[in-house]
Amino acid sequence: MKTNISFALVFFFVFIGNSMGQKLSDQQKTKAEAEVGAIFKTMVKAGEALDYDALSKGVDDQNHAGFIVNNGFYTKYDSLSNLLKGRVGGVSKQSIVFQKQKITAITEDVVLVIAIGDSTVELINGTQIPLKFYWTFVYQRIEGQWKVVQSHQSGNR
pLDDT of residue 9: 41
CB of 113 closer than 8 Å to CB of 139 = yes
| Confidence band for 147, pLDDT divided at 50, 70 and 90 | very high
Give the start-to-end residue ranges of the domains of the chain: 22-156
Task: Please list, in sequence order, all residues whose beta carbon lies within 8 angstroms of the beta carbon of residue 43, skipping any fewer than 6 positions away.
Answer: 54, 55, 58, 148
Mean pLDDT taken over the chain = 86
pLDDT of residue 144: 96
Q: Which residue did the predictor score with more confidence, 63 or 20?
A: 63
DSSP classification of residue 59:
B
Question: Per CATH, is 22-156 categorized as 3.40.640.10?
Answer: no
First to last CA, the chain: 44
Residue 94: phi and psi, rounded to 5, are -145, 150
Q: Which residue did the predictor score with more confidence, 23 or 132?
A: 132
pLDDT of residue 20: 55
pLDDT in tens, 11-57: 444 444 454 556 889 999 999 999 999 999 999 999 999 998 899 99
CA–CA gap between residue 110 and residue 32 (Å, rounded): 8
pLDDT of residue 15: 43
Helix (H, G, I), strand (E, B) or coil at 142: strand
CA–CA gap between residue 44 and residue 50 (Å, rounded): 10
| Confidence band for 157, pLDDT divided at 50, 70 and 90 | low
Residue 24: phi and psi, rounded to 5, are -110, 140
Residue 62: phi and psi, rounded to 5, are -65, -25
CA–CA gap between residue 59 and residue 65 (Å, rounded): 12
- pTM score, whole prediction: 0.81
pLDDT in tens, 83-107: 877 777 789 889 999 999 999 999 9
Residue 67: phi and psi, rounded to 5, are -135, 130
